[in-house]
Amino acid sequence: MSESASPRTWYVLLHTRGGAVAEGQSVFEHPGIAEHYAFLQRRVMAGELVAAGPLPDEPGNGMTVLAVPDLDTATRLATQDDQAVVSGVLEVQVRPWHVVMARGD
């Protein structure tokens, strides 16, 4: 870690298939997944999105990393602003991640 880098906390949103997705149906085929993409775009526009994408070894699961001020903000965004979570297309677990090194440090 360089002298200019300082530890920070980012927030990991772990997404799994929600109850609104029928057994055997892909999350990505459900029309409600568009709401998740809209949520991600809002986080891009707000300058909060670090990275997002599916986990290829766990079909239907994915991860989003946000740089927001605190756990309460991350949790509110993940559970109230992402309408795919609100409607049950996705479930989400919010985890703080103490980052000590990242690209650009």
Assigned token pair, 64: 């989003």
pLDDT single digits (tens) 45-95:
999 999 999 999 998 899 999 999 999 999 999 999 999 999 999 999 999
Q: In what order do the strands lie in the sheet with 49-54?
A: 49-54, 62-66, 8-17, 90-99
In this structure, are residues 62 and 54 in contact, taking their beta carbons and an 8 Å threshold? Answer: yes
pLDDT single digits (tens) 17-56:
999 999 989 999 999 999 999 999 999 999 999 999 999 9
Assigned token pair, 40: 């991600």
- CATH architecture label of 8-99: 2-Layer Sandwich (3.30)
- Phi/psi at 53 (nearest 5 deg)? 170, 170
CA separation for the pair 26, 14 (Å, rounded): 17
